[in-house]
Structure 1
Amino acid sequence: MAPINQSASVGLIAAEPLFVARRRKVRRWAIRPGLVLAGLFVLLLVIAAIQPHWLVAGDPLEASARQAFRAPDSLYWLGTDENGRDILTRLVYAVRPSLVLGLSATAIGLLLGTLFGLAAGLGPRWLDGAVMRGVDVLLAFPDLLLALVIITFFGQGQLNTIIAVGIASVPRYARLVRAQALVVRGAGYVEAATTLGLGRHAVILRHVLPNAIKPILILATIGIGGNIVSGAALSFLGFGAPPPEPEWGGMLAVGRNYLANAWWLVAWPALAITLTVVSISTIGRELLRRSEGKRP
């Protein structure tokens, strides 16, 4: 029996962890088909929001009584609504208000939530208790119900809907930022900066805020989809953009009255909302996974 080459065995054992590490790195950055499809769909949404006429040539408000309730065919790919308007054109033009609502409401919730979260996490104990008790009270209400209460005071309209959805998401971000601030406040680099004589405000701006807000920004990406759904739900209830402006929730509200005879009035707006939320959430979860160093 041939003797075992011990040096070769040791080299193989030493090379195995390196090989495993490289394989894990390749798997971590591997591009998955679902992620690619989600990215392409989001890119399509961005194009539709910026230049909708690149995708459709018609007018979303152009009506024709003769073409009312026309089923999907070669001329109208997604059919027409009760006024003979092209559903595909209206879906494309409805992307802009939906994305604006999702991004703007997320920005409002993130900004106010960061301010309240930092005040609770870095302030005195009495301020922490007061802020968090208020946050707990607001968290007792569903986001949609809280947004409806806010709209009752501000009134209807696209701008008020954005404000209502944004304020309704503040408690969620406030709790997350507070938790992150408490973790970062006890980190070694923060204590070192304080020991070296760096001022309190400088420590917060240079060390606490960037490290506390980074994971929250990734979670906010996922929250964009939820805010789009909330905006569509408010429009479905009649609190969004007034008709005949194209808006996915408003299209669902009108289409439900004709669901038995014209299913396409509801199917396409519902599919647009679903694909948008799933695509944005897929990208957000992938960013969160990679920030945590997890494998796909």
Structure 2
Amino acid sequence: MSIREQTLLGTTALTLADGRRGWATWLRLPPLTRHPGLLLAGLFVGLLVLAAIEPALLVRGDPLAANAREAFQAPSAAHWLGTDENGRDVLTRLVYGVRASLVMGLAATAIGLVAGIALGLLAGLGHRWIDSAIMRSVDVLLAFPDLLLALVIITFWGQGTLNAIIAVGIAGVPRYARMVRAQTRVVRGAAYVEAAITLGIARPLVILRHVLPNAIKPILILATIGIGGNIAAGASLSFLGFGAPPPAPEWGAMLSVGRNFLANAWWLVAAPGVAVTLTVVAITALGRALLRRSEGKNV
């Protein structure tokens, strides 16, 4: 092996090592004890995860069990967040609704990421006409707000939780595709990519080992922030009647029903409304902390 090839190989190896260390740096949060707001956000998200995995550890009772005699009871020691129009405990339904909201946020984000990364890579690495066709389509979709685009998709596919998840996920594809395409065009001209090609490494292997990891790192951080937005979008669809049907314990559906009794049972709207707000704020705060840290800024 010539000296030039040895140098190129060494450069590529150092780049790969830096890339591996980079993943750990990007995904590491700052010490939460120095940031009370982040600590509270982390604890709240941890509580949400626990509620999604095993809600029975936090509350007792059946979220669907109705008792007409206890309808519209105000918050008290017996029912911390009161009861709804059918006498069901609001706190129990709220806790059991965490799973549906988190699944909506995570699944929709995953759909948007996978499709967006595939289209972004294809546009960034493909021929000019492929890039142009994909980007023009993305521009058209970006002209619509995410929620409006999701509503259009649901109009064609029908209502239901699964369709709502797919619709919210597809609505996020254009945003991720454009970001991945921009990152790919930057990475493909980097020295370590050219060094790998010079050494005769197969193009698919170069894409998987060098282009893809470095192109999607910032996108993964931004996707963390997007989870909160997708949770809010899912709740909005359920509020409009396009998500989980009653009597499912889902935050958006609870808001939709509670608005009919706002005059005499304010807690039916306040409880799920505060839950959605706190969840979006907590996840967004953690995501922005990751983003600032990835950029080398003090959190």
The question of a shared fold, defined as TM-score above 0.5 by the shorter chain, is answered with yes
Q: Which residue of 2 aligns with 1:189?
A: 192
Structure 1: runs of 5+ lacking an equivalent: 1-26
Q: Which moved more, 1:67-76 or 1:194-203?
A: 194-203
1:249 to 246, 252, 258: 252
Q: TM-score, normalised by structure 1?
A: 0.89
1:229 to 227, 232, 241: 232
Q: Secondary structure at the match of 1:240?
A: coil
Q: Write out the 4+ residue segments of structure 1 that deviate beyond 6 Å after TM superposition.
A: 27-30
How far is 1:160 from its partner? 0.8
Q: TM-score, normalised by structure 2?
A: 0.89
Q: Does 1:279 align with 2:256?
A: no
**Conservation of the 8 A alpha-carbon contact between 2:32 and 2:39:** no
Q: Does 1:146 align with 2:149?
A: yes
How far is 1:63 from its partner? 0.8
**Conservation of the 8 A alpha-carbon contact between 1:113 and 1:172:** yes
Aligned residues between the structures? 270
1:157 to 135, 156, 160: 160
Q: Does 1:82 align with 2:93?
A: no
CA RMSD in angstroms comes to 1.1
How far is 1:230 from its partner? 0.5
Q: Which residue of 1 aligns with 2:180?
A: 177
Q: Does 1:96 align with 2:99?
A: yes
Q: Which amino acid is 2:112 matched to?
A: G
**Conservation of the 8 A alpha-carbon contact between 1:81 and 1:87:** yes
**Conservation of the 8 A alpha-carbon contact between 1:28 and 1:295:** no
**Conservation of the 8 A alpha-carbon contact between 2:33 and 2:39:** no
Write out per-residue CA displacement over residues 155-214 of structure 1, whole angstroms, 9 at most, x where no aligned residue: 111111111111111001001100110111111111111111112111111100000011
Q: Which residue of 1 aligns with 2:116?
A: 113
Change (3 A) 1:65 1:30: closer
Q: Which residue of 2 aligns with 1:18?
A: none
How far is 1:31 from its partner? 2.9
**Conservation of the 8 A alpha-carbon contact between 1:71 and 1:262:** yes
1:265 to 240, 265, 268: 268
**Conservation of the 8 A alpha-carbon contact between 2:75 and 2:81:** yes
Identity of aligned residues (%): 75
How far is 1:29 from its partner? 7.7
Q: Which amino acid is 1:263 matched to?
A: W
How far is 1:78 from its partner? 0.4
CA distance in 2, matches of 1:87, 1:231: 20
**Conservation of the 8 A alpha-carbon contact between 1:28 and 1:290:** no
**Conservation of the 8 A alpha-carbon contact between 1:60 and 1:246:** yes
CA distance in 1, matches of 2:46, 2:125: 39
Q: Which residue of 2 aligns with 1:5?
A: none
Q: Does 1:128 align with 2:142?
A: no
